[in-house]
Amino acid sequence: MSLLELRDLHVTYRGERAAVPAVRGVNLSIEAGDTVGLAGESGCGKSTIAGAVLRLLPKETEVRGQILLDGEDVYEMKPGRLRAVRWTGAAIVFQGALHSLNPVKRIGWQIEEAVLLHSKMSPRAARERAQDLLDRVGIPGDRVDKYPHQMSGGQRQRVLIALALACDPQLLIADEPTTALDVMVQAQVLALLEELQREKGLALLFITHDLSVLTHTCKRLAVMYAGRIVEEGPSELVFTDPQHPYSRALAAAFPTIGDMSSRMHPEGLAGDPPDPADLPSGCPFHVRCAVAIPECATLDVALRDAGPGRRAACVHVGAAHV
């Protein structure tokens, strides 16, 4: 049994004028201790998936399909059970560390609060636990009484990681945890996540638009476009030998320094990421695709086998392997 399993997940937001299908049929499973990267651009539905797993989306949002956490359907849970599962079953680290912390509470207390609410620890033990956790993420214990504004962006992101680990979750969902950080601080936070993942056998669902970061951190990779997974497989292969033209563009977006083919030659995709409320017909990528053929405008291709452990949703994929 997988730790997390998404079965044909559809998420539709209620827009002002029309329904907005943000996630359109995603299947994904994460085993205990596994590291999976979810890549894609703004509006592709990747953060919606993060929110859907712990039922953090607006009430009127329509969620179809199933989300099984350790075999249990998250959307069938009673409120009490859901509260217990949040933090202990799965926890999320969000992007904007400044907005995820309470600005008028000391950071140590914010961790203690989570511990006290989810375990039977005494206040004193909870405080020790908070100190240990901060220590673990590289923040000196004497900082427990600081407020968020007294810390740097990198430190706040570490506090959020400590907070997410407060109740020993089995699954950590990291939604763009390093996007707002400097390169060196990003490297520090990534190294920390990798270390924690190894040490605690944590499963990690890592969400970002930066494919190279994912390749570094995750064993498996899924690339999303317009609410669907368009390619999945082992990270290294998806990055170095992408099968879907969109993954290829995403992989090329961040150049390899030293690779002369990208020197003075930035590569990008024409057009803009699609508007989820107004998706193109057929394969939604065809309007930006360099290798589109006439039938792409009408044919919506599902994921196909693209080699061992790999799948891609492109009309060219089957053809290449026959």
Partner 1 sequence: MSDAVLALTNVRVQFGGGKVHAVDTVSLDVGAGEVLALVGESGCGKTTLIRSVIGLEPLSHGSIEVEGVKVGRGARGLRALRRKVQMIFQDPSGALNPRHSIYEAVAEGLRIHKVKGHEPTLVADALSAAGLRPPERFLQRYPHELSGGQRQRVLIAAAMALRPRLLLADEPVASLDASIRGEILALMRSYVDRDGVSIVAVTHDLGLAWNIADRVAVMYLGRIVEVGPADDVLRTPLHPYTKALLSVVPEIEGMEQQILTGETPDPSRIPSGCRFHPRCPVVASGEAERLGFVDRCRGVDLELEPEVGSHRVACHAVQIST
Residues that bind partner 1 (CB under 8 A): 41-42, 152-155, 182-188, 191, 209-213, 215-216, 246, 249-250, 252-258, 262-270, 272-273, 288
The percent of the chain in helix, strand and coil, each rounded to the nearest 5, is 40, 20, 40
- To partner 1, the closest distance from the beta carbon of 255 in angstroms equals 5
**Would you say 86 or 158 has its CB closer to partner 1?**
158
Say how far apart CA 200 and CA 1 lie, in whole Å: 19
Asked if 18 and 26 count as a contact pair (C-beta separation under 8 A), the reply is no
Q: What is the DSSP letter of 78?
A: -
CB nearer partner 1, residue 170 or residue 247? 247
Shortest spacing between CB 239 and partner 1, in angstroms? 10
- CB atoms < 10 A from the CB of 215, how many? 20
With b for 16 or more beta-carbon neighbours within 10 A and e for fewer, the 227-239 pattern comes to: bbbbbbbbbebbb
98 or 187: whose CB is closer to partner 1? 187
Read off the tokens for 226: 């317009």
Minimal distance, residue 264 CB to partner 1, in Å: 7
Structural Rg of the chain based on CA atoms? 21
In the bound complex, what is the minimum distance in angstroms from residue 48's beta carbon to partner 1? 16
Question: What are phi and psi for residue 29, nearest 5 degrees?
Answer: -130, 145
Cβ nearer to partner 1, comparing 87 with 246:
246
Smallest separation, CB 150 to partner 1 (Å): 12
Which residue's CB is nearer to partner 1, number 90 or number 230?
Answer: 230
